[in-house]
Amino acid sequence: MHIMEGFLPVTHAIGWSVASLPFLVFGTHRLSQKMAREPQARLFLGASGGFAFVLSALKLPSVTGSCSHPTGIGLGTILFGPSIMCVLGCVVLVFQALFLAHGGLTTLGANTFSMAIVGSFTAWFSFRAARSLRVPFNGCVFLAAACSDLCTYLTTALQLALAFPDPASGLAGASAKFLGVFAFTQVPLAITEGLLTVLVMNLLRNHATDSIRTLLPAFSQHRK
């Protein structure tokens, strides 16, 4: 999913960076407020970032010659909301670009937009929608993580299609091509990520209930 260093045209790299900037500025503001108001949340902030770092660093070969991986964005989004997770996701991508050569600095804006921004807001709206339909808590968590994963890859495919439209079929043909690259592995990965996120959230619920309540006010409403 991470677009590699130097792969995007300069104008596209700059454009996605500009598009990501307002989300990161606002998210940084929300993050600083959160840490000042609830310093005990730092442990969970670090855990959420670490969860995203580990999962999104697991590159699994695809049958199409590319690779796929989970994103890990859903957990932190449920705990802290999409704005803060945008910042954590960007930090994760910076560390991966610098130390793992996964992604890149020139493509940081595009990768941030797809994984940290689209992924976070998709997880949040999926979680909220499931809650409004009175879906059990585990189902809400599963949908948030799985939908976040899938929409991240949809966004990446669109980014690549915009940068490299098909000479014959244009944007539509390129989108279908790039979506096909990830389809075989990404759907089962999204399901797996959803189940893993449910497992981790249940561990938090069982072993850090009081702390979770301060981060997730609606937690006590979801006992099933």
* 177 C-beta neighbours (distance < 10 Å), count: 16
- Is residue 211 very low, low, confident or very high in pLDDT (cuts 50, 70, 90)? low
> Mean of the pLDDT values across residues 193-198?
96
Residue 133: pLDDT over 70: yes
Q: What's the pLDDT at 223?
A: 46
What integer best gives the mean pLDDT of the chain?
88
Residue 190: pLDDT over 80: yes
Q: Are 83 and 30 contacting, i.e. CB atoms less than 8 angstroms apart? A: yes
Q: Which residue has the higher pLDDT, 181 or 157?
A: 157
- Domain spans in the chain, listed from the N-terminal domain onward: 10-216
Q: What's the pLDDT at 209?
A: 66
Distance CA 5, CA 17 (A): 14
Distance CA 68, CA 62 (A): 6
Q: Which residue has the higher pLDDT, 7 or 221?
A: 7
What ranges in the chain are assigned the alpha helix state H? 10-37, 42-56, 73-80, 82-99, 108-111, 119-132, 137-163, 170-207, 209-215
Q: What's the pLDDT at 66?
A: 59
Query: What are the residues facing 189 on neighbouring strands?
Result: none
In terms of CATH architecture, what is 10-216? Orthogonal Bundle (1.10)
Place of tokens 């970032």: 49
The per-residue pLDDT for range 170-187, each reduced to its tens digit, is 888 888 888 877 777 788
Q: DSSP for 141-169?
A: HHHHHHHHHHHHHHHHHHHHHHHS-BTTT
Instruction: Give the CA-trace dihedral at 30, 46, 2, 173, to 10 degrees.
Output: -50
The per-residue pLDDT for range 30-84, each reduced to its tens digit, is 999 999 988 888 888 999 999 999 998 887 776 555 567 899 999 999 999 999 9
Taking each helix axis from N to C terminus, what angle separates 119-132 and 73-80, rounded to the nearest 10 degrees?
60
Residue 87: pLDDT over 90: yes
Q: Which residue has the higher pLDDT, 109 or 221?
A: 109
